[in-house]
Amino acid sequence: MHEQGFDNIYRDLEGLRARDRYRRRRTLESPQGARVVVDGRRLLNFCSNDYLGLASDPRVGEAFRTGIERWGTGAGASHLVCGHTAAHEALEIALAEFTGRPRALLYSSGYHANVGVINALLSRGDFVFEDRLNHASLLDGGWISLATFTWFDHLDAAHLERGLEAVADAGARKLIASDGTFSMDGDRCRLDDAIAVAKRHRAWLMIDDAHGMGVHGRQGVGLVDPQQRSTDDVPVLVGTLGKAFGTAGAFVAGDEGLIETLIQRSRNYIYTTAMPSALAVATLVSLSILRDETWRREHLAHLVDRFRTEASTLGFSVMPSVSPIQPLVVGDAARALALSSALEERGFLITAIRPPTVPEGTSRLRVTLTAAHKTSDVDQLLEALAAVDRGLEPEA
């Protein structure tokens, strides 16, 4: 509750500033990539989610242009009215095939998809279980659905199971939602444990693999390999197109029953304009690059490995992450900001991640690596980190 209506809106903002939580946007003057221009300066960029370096790939760009020639710029309506085109249809079929699921459904963004899916599947009287470090969109979906919301400790299947055991109502729907790769820590959901618990309690498991798809797994399929995990194991799979795919949008993959339910009931699907068809055309090309160009994943894995080894040698405490997300936790927000500025002076763009995105006292530099980086870029980053070293020691 706010005490004085809108009268204290500026005081609120000042409060954020005083606690080093004020956020500001950096304006890029160049395309997304390993090197970007900010305030007229060229910086080595270590904070994008463009994991495979496809966000400014010329082939994807060319497909986008061809798509505009064929389809125009705007979809002009929602999918259910008259905005759904053969371009969307083709991408949905390709994404279903990619993930080894019978069907896939496009959403405008991962945020839309997560909120829309949970809200469509659950309502008052149902139950949703969420990992404490889940992405904000999964949390919001759970809250908006009005289902009973239960946290479980990060990756803790035993804690999750105790929560499920406490549900007395046998007829209620139970949904377990988890990030595949956790967006701020870079570690992964323990899929075997989560599947086993879900099955014992006849719950559905929803995996949001926003950071995993394209980055690891056979052909870049991510955490949920269809050769090993059926839709019985993971009934709801979400992927986003704005990260490794280098475009924008998201999709949900699963059985006929899930997808038709979303088409009928998902408000975030029904009441929004379809993504531009040209974007679907471009994404189809980025999907084929993502599957075929395995060197991107291999090079990225090599960079991750090198960063972790060298950072540990330099005495930094790296987190248990084998993903391109390599956070260096420094503690308080002011320190994270100061380090981010010090690195920028040296020519590196790495944003400080602060509460409420991460828990109090765990502000961090969230370093992300991409296939567009050269080994020498990572080495330069390590040198710069060594130079600002003392600030990077975790606080006692």
Question: Which residues lie near ligand PLP (CB under 6 A)?
Answer: 109-111, 114, 135, 137, 179, 183, 208, 210-211, 240, 242, 250
Pair 261, 121: CB distance under 8 Å: yes
* Closest CB to ligand PLP among residues 369, 388: 369
- Nearest approach, Cβ of 200 to ligand PLP (angstroms)? 26
Helix pair 375-387, 294-313: axis angle to 10 deg: 20
Among residues 149 and 334, whose Cβ is nearest to ligand PLP?
A: 149
Q: How far is the CB of 24 from ligand PLP (least distance, A)?
A: 19
From start to end of the chain, where are the E strands? 35-38, 41-45, 103-107, 127-131, 148-152, 174-179, 204-208, 236-240, 250-254, 325-331, 348-349, 352-353, 363-368
Shortest reach from residue 315's CB to ligand PLP, in Å: 29
Q: Which of 343, 375, 324 is nearest to 43 (CA)?
A: 343
Would you state the structure tokens that stand for residue 390, as one six-digit string?
A: 């003392």
Q: Provide, rounded to whole angstroms, the least separation between the CB of residue 65 and ligand PLP.
A: 23
- Of 113 and 198, the one with the shorter C-beta distance to ligand PLP is 113
The minimum distance between CB 100 and ligand PLP, in angstroms, equals: 21
Nearest-approach distance from CB 310 to ligand PLP, in angstroms: 26
* Residue of 346, 316, 314, 348 lying closest to 330 (CA atoms): 316
The residue among 163 and 186 lying less far from ligand PLP, judged by its C-beta, is 186
Q: Which two tokens stand for residue 149?
A: 């919301």
Do the beta carbons of residue 356 and residue 368 sit within 8 Å?
A: no
Residues belonging to the chain? 396
Closer residue to ligand PLP (CB): 79 or 135: 135
Shortest distance (Å) from residue 242 CB to ligand PLP: 4
| Token code pair at residue 54 | 């496809």
* C-beta pairs of 95-98 under 8 Å, 24+ apart in sequence: 95/239, 95/251, 95/253, 95/287, 96/253, 98/219, 98/221, 98/287, 98/291
Closer residue to ligand PLP (CB): 189 or 392: 189
Helix-helix angle 58-71:86-99, to 10 degrees: 140
For ligand PLP, the closer CB: 186 or 331: 186
- Smaller CB distance to ligand PLP: residue 231 or 240? 240
The distance of closest approach from Cβ of residue 256 to ligand PLP in the complex, given in angstroms and rounded to an integer, is 24
Strand 174-179 relative to strand 204-208, pairing? parallel
- Residue number of the CB closest to ligand PLP reads 110
